[in-house]
Amino acid sequence: MLKITDLHAYYGPIEALKGINVHVEAGKITCLIGSNGAGKTTLLNAISGTIKRTGSIIVEGKGEIIDKHSRFIARRGIIHVPEGRHIFPGLTVRENLETGTVNWHGFFGRQPYDKELKEVYKLFPRLEERKNQLGWSLSGGEQQMLAIGRAMMARPAVLMLDEPSMGLAPLVVQELFEKIVEINKQQGIPILLVEQNARLALEISHYAYIIDGGSVKLEGSSSELKNDPRVIEAYLGKFAKKN
Amino acid sequence: MNINTIVSLSVNGIAMGMIYALMAMGLILLIRAIGVMNFAQGDLLMFGAFVTCALTVDLKLPLWIMIPLALISFAVIGVIFMFTVYWPLKDATYPTATVISTMGAAMALKEIATLIWGSLPRSMPPLMKNPKTGKAAVLNLFGIKLQWQFVLTIIVGAVLIWLVFVLFEKLYAGRMMQAAAQDKYAAELLGIPTILTTAATYIIVVIMVSTGGYMIAPIFMVSNTLGSLQLRAFAGVVIGGLGNIKGAIIGSLIIGLVESFSTIQFSQYKDAVVFIVLIAMLLVRPQGLFGEKVADKA
């Protein structure tokens, strides 16, 4: 669905990504694991076109996007849910969801989006309960649901989630990850997941990439990597096998 | 003080308040959209007054051609203003750079106006004239005499403010503009064209402010000192509570009324009275009449 080849990205003179090859398969959850500063978020920003990058990013059936502006990338259905949620604080929940439709709707568009809205409310009933509340007044978990819901309004071809578990209580994380699996299973939307909680990420994903120092160190199916001694040592901790 | 004086002073005050409100609302729209206080607001008003004066007096255009032509030139001024004053500095590491640049723009506008139209104040005919005398038309309301120009200023100001509210609150494009103003990064990721929303904000602001200039041109003379009116708009914004549009409008109307009624007793000191009210407000209620709509969540 998304084929990334030899991707380089820069922050000024510093090379943050040193030739990354990642393949997001259609209908699968692919996850990126790595420590702080490994380049996971940079990779997502490079795909969505918010930082300078070179290399090749090919969207299946839609062509090369490496030279495109973030606006056009969003229009091709590559939807990035950023780290820290970034919902619009002064808009209501419903208005926040509405903004998600702009990529297929156009700036002045007036097509109905009731179908999308209904599906998001079905996925996250909590959002419907709070549809007239302002974005900033939601709890962290609700904000994350809203950020994902807003991305679902955009009719995503690929969904990129950056640290959805950040700062959330374990029970909320559990619920959220069930929803992510549901989105992938029921609608077949491929997901590129960046996650610090390596165990959880390997649990729900099909394929995983371990990123360190701006390049891919290891890749393989998630079930394999879960039992790889190097991964256990570095990211899961030595008691991981007992689970 | 009889009822006649009270009503006519109120109408004058509200009319001036409307002008300040147009500027104040523009200030807040810009603060929200790009996070910058625009110190060229008053000089944009001055420039608008000069442009409409040139179209009406020099070119002698009838109103129905003058208005669309004026609106188009305001929009063009807005876009030029954005790409010269804000755009080159938008990624500056030092955020005050853009604020300084608006101060420079204020001086530039003043000088451009002087270069084109000279430094002498020009007079502008009122929108409605008495057909017999050729002077400003007067509305006789149950024996109370009101200048039509003030009444029209109130109507035009209120309609403009209402239109901007409708745009932002009711229209899809307006909500996209709000979203882009609140979080540019997230807006980009969703595919909202932020360059378009910023340009639209500049166009709306310049149209509001310049139309204000057009409406007060017959009341004052058209001169390059009109820009100093922006201090009243700043006062209105502070009284209303920074960042709150409704508050800024009410604050501006209060400033207009205070100014108008202070002319009874101390006409020379009306500026002082306005700023005493402002200082008193800052002492008693520094957050303004209305607080921020969006609070920071701990």
Q: Give A34's strand partners.
A: none
Number of domains in chain B: 1
CB B261 within 8 A of CB B83: no
- State the average pLDDT over residues B88-95: 84
Three-state SS for B165? helix
Name which of B189, B196, B244, B246 to mutate to probe chain A: the one with the most chain A Cβ atoms within 10 A of its Cβ: B189
- How far the first Cα of chain A sits from its last, in Å, is 32
Q: How far is B294 from chain A (nearest CA, A)?
A: 6
Query: What's the pLDDT at B254?
Result: 94
The parent domain of residue B13 ranges over 3-226
ipTM of the assembly? 0.91
In a domain, B239, yes or no: no
A144 in B contact zone (CB under 8 Å): no
B216: its two tokens: 């007060």
For residues B16 and B143, the model is more confident at B16
- C-alpha distances (whole Å) from B261 to each of A165, A241, B138, B248, B256 are 59, 81, 20, 20, 9
Centroid of chain to Cα A115: 23
d(C-alpha B148, C-alpha A76), whole Å: 55
Query: What's the pLDDT at A202?
Result: 92
Q: Give A160's strand partners.
A: A80, A192
d(C-alpha A107, C-alpha A40), whole Å: 31
pLDDT for A58-105, tens place per residue? 998 888 999 899 989 999 999 999 999 999 999 999 999 999 999 988
In a domain, B160, yes or no: yes
Facing B179 at nearest CB: one of A70, A79, A88: A88
Cβ contact, residue pair A91, B176, below 8 Å: no
CA–CA–CA angle A48, A52, A53 (5° rounding): 80
CB B47 within 8 A of CB B219: no
Q: What is the mean pLDDT of chain A?
A: 90
In a domain, B120, yes or no: yes
In a domain, B248, yes or no: no
- State the average pLDDT over residues A191-220: 92
Q: How far is B201 from chain A (nearest CA, A)?
A: 14
pLDDT for A110-155, tens place per residue? 788 999 999 999 999 999 999 999 999 999 999 999 999 999 999 9
Facing B185 at nearest CB: one of A74, A82, A136: A82
H or E, element range at B20: helix B3-34
pLDDT for B121-178, tens place per residue? 998 888 888 777 777 788 887 888 888 999 999 999 999 999 999 998 889 999 999 9
Instruction: Give the B-side interface with A, CB within 8 Å.
Output: 172-173, 175-176, 178-179, 182-183, 185-193, 196, 293-297
d(C-alpha A218, C-alpha A210), whole Å: 5
In a domain, B152, yes or no: yes
Among the residues of A154-213, which ranges form H helices? 170-187, 198-204
Exposure of B63 by Cβ count < 10 A (0-12 exposed, 13-18 middle, 19+ buried)?
A: exposed
In a domain, B255, yes or no: no
d(C-alpha B117, C-alpha B133), whole Å: 28
Q: Provide φ and ψ at B246, rounded to 5°.
A: -60, -40
Query: What's the pLDDT at B275?
Result: 87
Query: What's the pLDDT at A243?
Result: 45
Facing A89 at nearest CB: one of B182, B190, B193: B182
Which of chain A's residues have a Cβ under 8 Å away from the Cβ of B294? 89-90, 134, 136
A60 in B contact zone (CB under 8 Å): no
In a domain, B232, yes or no: no
Query: What's the pLDDT at A242?
Result: 46
Over 80: is that where the pLDDT of B293 sits? Answer: no
Please write down the long-range contacts of A138-146, taking CB distance under 8 Å and 24 or more positions apart: A138/A87, A138/A93, A140/A85, A140/A167, A140/A168, A140/A172, A141/A168, A141/A169, A141/A172, A141/A175, A141/A176, A143/A85, A143/A87, A144/A85, A144/A168, A144/A176, A145/A176, A145/A179, A146/A85, A146/A87, A146/A93, A146/A96, A146/A97
A15: its two tokens: 């090379």
Cβ contact, residue pair B186, A87, below 8 Å: yes
Return the closest-CA partner of residue B225 out of B106, B116, B127, B136: B106
Query: What's the pLDDT at A239?
Result: 56
Query: What's the pLDDT at A11?
Result: 86
Exposure of B85 by Cβ count < 10 A (0-12 exposed, 13-18 middle, 19+ buried)?
A: buried
CB A193 within 8 A of CB A34: no
| Domains of chain A with CATH codes | 2-84+156-242 (3.40.50.300)
CB B263 within 8 A of CB B9: yes
In a domain, B158, yes or no: yes
A107 in B contact zone (CB under 8 Å): yes
